[in-house]
Amino acid sequence: MVCHSFIYLDFDRKSTFTCGTCGSKNQPFHDIVVKERLWRHLDFWQYKSFIHAPLPRVKCGKCEKQDLSNVKKVAIDETSSKRGHQYVSLVVDIEKRNVIYVIE
């Protein structure tokens, strides 16, 4: 018999976060990029464990003024936000390894 453990996380919408692009701390919450991201966690005892959580995006004051003129190479990656039901595309600056745009 295979048993699973599912852990659901959420956050206060008044929270602040570190900007994933430039690293600025205490940036206000803007919206949710992915409503339910799934991560595989180490097993708890004999249970296969999974963590479900939304991915927040911040409204970063520094990145609003982001200068993209130095971006030379980008990669576009599509990822599932909810097991095959919803996709988002990420545009990433390959050299700086920054997400520069999210397309829902």
Residue type, 98: N
Binding flag, residue 90, Zn ion (CB under 5 A): no
| Amino acid residing at 28 | P
CB-neighbour burial class of residue 10 (10 A; exposed 0-12, middle 13-18, buried 19+): exposed
Residue 101 Cβ, how far from Zn ion at the closest point, in Å?
13
**Contact between 81 and Zn ion per CB under 5 A:** no
62 binds Zn ion (CB under 5 A): yes
SS3 state at 63:
helix
Nearer to Zn ion, 25 or 83 (CB): 25
Which one-letter amino acid corresponds to residue 32?
I
Q: Least separation, in Å, of the C-beta of 60 and Zn ion?
A: 3
34 touches Zn ion (CB under 5 A): no
User: Do residues 71 and 58 make contact, with C-beta atoms less than 8 angstroms apart?
Assistant: no
User: Measured from the CB of residue 85, what is the shortest distance to Zn ion in angstroms?
Assistant: 29
